[in-house]
Structure 1
Amino acid sequence: MSGLVDDRALLGRTSTAERVADILRGRIADGYFPPGERLSEESIGSALKVSRNTLREAFRLLTHERLLTHELNRGVFVRVLTVEDVEDIFRTRRLVECAVVRGLGRPPYALDGPAAAVADAHRAARAKDWKGVGTANIRFHGELVALAGSARMDELMRSVFAELRLVFHVVDDPRRLHEPYLSRNREILKALESGDRPAAERLLGRYLDDSRLGMVEAYEAGLGDAGEQ
């Protein structure tokens, strides 16, 4: 056991790196660090008062989550997703989210989380806060996944949804991207509230198929506009 004593410092460093990764993940999700931006070790480390080793471990964690990319002799950058990445995100979402709904047991279901997310999305829409609508929409789908009661599935989808946020920052018309799905989330919720799991799964599958097509189209247009600037 004496050898474990020497590892206590690693626990503290890893914990700090995870907290730093949480901060940076949130900043990336908010668009503070947009896709393609280089992250400066010096400025971030100074702002957060953390060592270079801790910051590099946080970068490594976020690179593993596919939010950052390391380019040799250039540094660490926020990832710019490809269209193929976007397609893959939606394939993963369809597999996981539909399987969760399909696997639900007998109703009633614990729907406070999804219901709160739907309500928040509609409040944000009334305020014309389309970024807020997108955040609430993602939370709704995260709450659906949480109905499975699987920590592993929650962790997987947290990473997938974080990648999805990178797409939002490239799209130039967030209202067009998010507004059509406000009512569709509510329809899914109502189907679950009524205990009609097959209907909820059908609605969810169609939602994700349509969202994939719309997202890819909007993302391609956003990438094109960025390339012309």
Structure 2
Amino acid sequence: MAEQLTGLADDRALLGRTSTAERVSDILRSRIADGYFPPGTRLSEDGIGGALGVSRNTLREAFRLLTHERLLVHELNRGVFVRVLSVEDVEDIYRTRVLVECAVVRGLGAPPYPLERLSAAVAEGQSAAAADDWKAVGTANIHFHRELVALAASERTGELMRSVFAELRLAFHVVDDPHALHEPYLARNQEILQSLQRGDSHGAEHLLERYLTDSLERVVEVYRRRVGEDTAP
């Protein structure tokens, strides 16, 4: 925890003079997504509040916001913890992804599509793989799907999926072999991008649906082994 708090202290400058619970929650959300606070970690009010230089009330409001996003859970008489997802949570996350991501691709208008940021996410993943940084490959994969959703040009859809992708990172942090999990999707991201570059949104949707189905099976398989079916949310 001491090392984690040192990292938070480095973020203190991001708060500026007008620190708010929203800004604190943004910092903590990012730290949780990056794995600084793994699932199951108890978050210390005194430690985090001191590292960020914010009041207890501000921090509690930030905790409340992240609890609403299902990233944290409050346990009576024990404190606030980074949530450990259940298998059912993972399945529901992927159900939401299929509904939203496939609908975004299906609803694309006539080509060409604005694919620069999607292409950059593919390149980011390939560079991370070349550096043998498979945690960064997982991050790049999230970026790819975030940019795919951004093609809808819908602020509300993007906000919804930001929360979904943040929860998905909680599942990824449980995986003991990120190389095996993420490596197959480098080529599949490239295939989806190429379909969209050709203006074939129907083909891209088909690739994406199979992609998400296969990814769910792989993640659930790992999750049953590492966490178990009866893990409480």
Q: TM-score, normalised by structure 2?
A: 0.89
2:193 matches 1:197: no
- In structure 2, stretches of 5+ residues that fail to align are 1-16
Between the aligned partners of 2:226 and 2:128, the Cα distance in structure 1 is 23
Matches within 5 A, 1:77-92: 77-92=81-96
Matches within 5 A, 1:8-87: 16-87=20-91
Structure 1 54/14 Cα, relative in aligned 2: closer, same or farther at 3 Å? farther
Which residue of structure 2 lines up, in the alignment, with residue 102 of structure 1? 106
Give the CA deviation at 1:14. 9.4
Pairing partner for 1:207 from 198, 211, 230: 211
Match of 1:132 among 132, 136, 143: 136
* 8 Å contact kept, 1:66–1:79: yes
- 1:169 corresponds, among 150, 170, 173, to 173
- Deviation of 1:222 (Å): 2.0
Q: Percent identity?
A: 74
CA distances 1:72-117 after superposition (whole Å, capped 9, x unpaired): 1111000000000000000000000000000000000000111000
Alpha-carbon separation, structure 1, partners of 2:153 and 2:19: 25
In structure 1, give the amino acid aligned to 2:65: L
> CA offset at residue 223 of structure 1?
1.6
What CA distance in whole angstroms lies between the structure 2 residues aligned with 1:150 and 1:59?
27
Instruction: Tell me the SS of whatever aligns to 2:77.
Output: coil
RMSD: 1.5
User: CA separation in 2, counterparts of 1:41 and 1:153?
Assistant: 32
Q: SS of the residue aligned with 2:199? A: coil
In the alignment, structure 1 residue 182 sits paired with structure 2 residue 186: yes
1:171 partner SS: coil
User: d(CA) in 2 for partners of 1:127 and 1:221?
Assistant: 28
8 A Cα contact 1:14 1:54, kept in partner:
no
Q: Given residue 220 of structure 1, which amino acid in structure 2 is its aligned partner?
A: R
Q: Is the Cα contact below 8 Å between 1:68 and 1:77 reproduced in 2?
A: yes
Find the counterpart in structure 1 of residue 10 from structure 2.
none
Larger Rg: 1
Report the TM-score when normalising by structure 1. Answer: 0.91
Residue in structure 1 matched with residue 155 of structure 2 by the alignment: 151
C-alpha distance in 1, partners of 2:35/2:58? Answer: 23
Aligned to 1:218: 222
- Unpaired stretches in structure 1, ≥5 consecutive residues: 1-12
| Structure 1 counterpart of 2:11 | none
1:219 deviation in Å? 1.6
Structure 2: distance between partners of 1:26 and 1:214: 25
Which runs of structure 1 show a deviation greater than 4 angstroms over 4 or more consecutive aligned residues?
Answer: none
Deviation at 1:64, TM superposition (A): 0.5
| Pairs aligned (count) | 214
Structure 1 residue 221: Cα displacement? 1.7
Relative to its length, the structure with more helix (as a share) is 1
- Aligned partners of 1:177 and 1:218 also within 8 Å: no
Cα pair distance change 1:14/1:72, threshold 3 Å: farther
| 2:38 match: secondary structure | coil
AA at the equivalent of 1:110: P
Aligned residue for 2:227, secondary structure, equals: helix
